[in-house]
Structure 1
């Protein structure tokens, strides 16, 4: 508490209200020295200071500095590289391996540096979906399979864990494909809009 008081005092002294009020109060001192304020100069100086403090714009705290979409995309790309390193050390059944390869190939295409990634970076929902798949959904699906497979070996007869893994990977692949379709449709609409613009311009 003791250390916060000096900070508050310094903050007030540097505030817009105090600086504006001080400037107006200084004008009151000038009026006093020129004899225009008369015997009521303390009231004039205090009044001008208060008026200046009231007229000063309020202090505005700086908004949080969040990373821009391109920086977020670069972070996701780095996490995707770490995910691929993790997946390379996991042994999966052939069917699940094939589905995983299709999913990671699609994610790699979306994250590949270039204009496609720029389109993804401009789509907050799409970038969130890819980030969630890379950082949560895929590693969780694979890790759950590895853990469950060990228990299944102790208690055989249960539903094979690879069946769940294959379904999960198929669902994630479907989400990634729908995202790619949506981004493609956005580019197609952009192309169509440019065609209409050129057609309208040629008619005038």
Structure 2
């Protein structure tokens, strides 16, 4: 219902109704009851003639990046709040991955220019990193440090996951900044040619 009030159809209908009110005010329409009928007809005509709202399925990259960066900040606050439960290396690992991803999200239009890279950055930021931390924090404390028959614990698994996530984040950053690195290398070659 709220979307209707700001829609183009409602605005066009209101303009039609306003025309009916102006026609009554200048004396074109006689009795008051006729004014209401004319306003209703003009409102309906305006609403029917107005174009429908455009469908918007694609999210604005700037809005999406801001939401994801906010979610990363919330994740870091959650990690800081549970730092007693997480191994210190895990806290540092989450912070590092979140910083790399947040940096990649600073220029959302540049990131959106490479949809595959954008998808992988968003997947890492929205799903992979939070899922690793969430899964570990949802385990009972006594169970997280317990070693299984193979000698590994949930802490070990979290450390492995964070190492993999760090590698993925750094690989994405290398891909994101590849053009800048190439530009810098080209400039170095250019400067070396004159010597």
TMscore range, shorter length: 0.5 to 0.7
Question: Is it true that 1:109 corresponds to 2:100 in the alignment?
Answer: no
Return the offset for 1:169: 0.6
Q: Contact 1:77 / 1:111 at 8 angstroms: preserved in 2? A: yes
Query: Paired residue for 2:160?
Result: 167
- Cα deviation, 1:88-142, whole Å, max 9, x if unaligned, reads 2223112222222221222232233xxx554323222222222222221112111
Note the 1:5-24 alignment, pairs <5 A: none
Distance (Å, rounded) in 2 between the aligned partners of 1:193 and 1:62: 45
Distance (Å, rounded) in 2 between the aligned partners of 1:78 and 1:157: 35
Note the 1:121-140 alignment, pairs <5 A: 121-140=112-131
Q: Contact 2:136 / 2:158 at 8 angstroms: preserved in 1? A: yes
Query: Paired residue for 2:48?
Result: none
Question: Is it true that 1:93 corresponds to 2:87 in the alignment?
Answer: yes
Distance (Å, rounded) in 2 between the aligned partners of 1:98 and 1:83: 13
Return the offset for 1:67: 1.9
Distance (Å, rounded) in 1 between the aligned partners of 2:102 and 2:116: 18
Q: Contact 1:73 / 1:127 at 8 angstroms: preserved in 2? A: no
Return the offset for 1:83: 2.0
Q: SS state of the match for residue 59, structure 2?
A: coil
Distance (Å, rounded) in 1 between the aligned partners of 2:105 and 2:56: 26
Q: For the pair shown, which has the larger CA radius of gyration, 1 or 2?
A: 1
Return the offset for 1:166: 0.7
Q: SS state of the match for residue 72, structure 1?
A: helix
Q: Contact 2:79 / 2:91 at 8 angstroms: preserved in 1? A: no
Query: Paired residue for 1:72?
Result: 64
Return the offset for 1:179: 0.7
Q: How many residues align?
A: 131
Unaligned runs of 5+ in 2: 1-52, 188-195
Unaligned runs of 5+ in 1: 1-60, 195-204
Judged with a 3 Å threshold, the aligned counterparts in structure 2 of structure 1 residues 120 and 162 are, in CA distance, closer, same or farther, namely same
